Amino acid sequence: MAAADSLPAPGRAPDAPASGRAPASGHPPAKRALRARRRSRIGMIFLIMTAIAVVMLYPFWYILNNAFRTQTQFEQQHGHSALSWSQLFSELPVGRELLNSTLICLASILLILAVSTTAGFAFAKLRYRGSGIVFLAVVAALMVPLQSIIIPEYVNLGKLGLINTYLGAILVYVALGTPFATFLMATYYRGISDDLIEAAVMDGLGYERTFLRIALPLSWPAIATVTVLQFIQIWDDLLVGLLFLQNPQQRTITVGLAALSAGRTSSIPVLMAGSFISAVPAIVVYLIFQRYLVRGLTLGMGK
């Protein structure tokens, strides 16, 4: 499905026929000239791509460079020290908040997967009357912006006593992630042949068991995609965490960082150090699973 990797590079092909085809370029000097032009063109492209890479990567360099300064060193842009890191750890319960982030992410993702794989399979393979509309409704819930529901959601979960608990935040994340995850899984499951399913059922497996034993193992790539997308989304979320987890002891690292910056601690390097710590896990997950991210996006475009 990730065609970008597997297809021959269409961009490169035109060059070769051009130099081989045109009768006039049969002369060696012309061929050399063309090759030189091609090389300079490749060089130009490489240069531009590097320039863009610098633009994209600059913030990371900025964060890391300034995290290792004190406030005075930051203002003068000169000198380095590790002081801001110890300041960060004293102002924020970093370890605790990282733990909170991790637990909440994992639990939310597990729930999202549980709900979306089953539903995705059902909508893809187990059509029943009205399932098309139900599917449309579930996916249309994608359009619901967080801001529109956050207030009633907050009050509802408050009445259930779930504010300042992991479960409250998890439920909101699950609600927000289910539509897209279901859509992704359904699209993926559509790609599995019906015969495979039917054969398993004929063998007496039953649809539910078929899902568990046959369909689910086949869908690891899509599961990986959902995991990565949701991990990034939940790890980096601010509003839900800010409202539903009001104490630093339950906060996620992203919310802790925002609270720190809103408190206008006068030390920018401390904020930079915090930024680095909060960004690293999501980046690591991305780097490990980037193939699936690409795949997930292309799946979403409905091949």
**Nearest by Cα to 185 from 230, 236, 235:** 230
Asked if 90 interacts with another protein (CB under 8 A), we say no
Owner of token pair 């579930």: 138
Residue corresponding to tokens 């992991």:
166
Q: Looking only at residues 218 through 247 of this chain, which bind another protein when binding is defined by CB under 8 A?
A: 232, 235-239, 242-243, 246-247
How many chain residues bind another protein (CB under 8 A)?
A: 141
Q: Which residues between 13 and 32 bind another protein (CB under 8 A)? A: 13-14, 17-18
Q: Which is nearer to another protein, 32 or 60 (CB)?
A: 60
204 forms part of the interface with another protein (CB under 8 A): no
87, 118, 219, 225: which one binds another protein (CB under 8 A): 118
Is 84 or 118 the residue whose CB approaches another protein more closely? 118
Binding mask 272-291 for another protein (x = CB under 8 A): x--x--xx--xx-xxx--x-
Sole binder of another protein in the list 33, 53, 82, 199 (CB under 8 A):
53
If one asks whether residue 134 binds another protein (CB under 8 A), the answer comes out as yes
* Among 89, 212, 221, 224, interactor with another protein by CB under 8 A: 212
89 part of the interface to another protein, by CB under 8 A: no
Find the shortest distance in angstroms from Cβ 96 to another protein. 9
Least distance (Å) between residue 28 CB and another protein: 23
Are the beta carbons of 138 and 179 closer than 8 angstroms?
Answer: yes
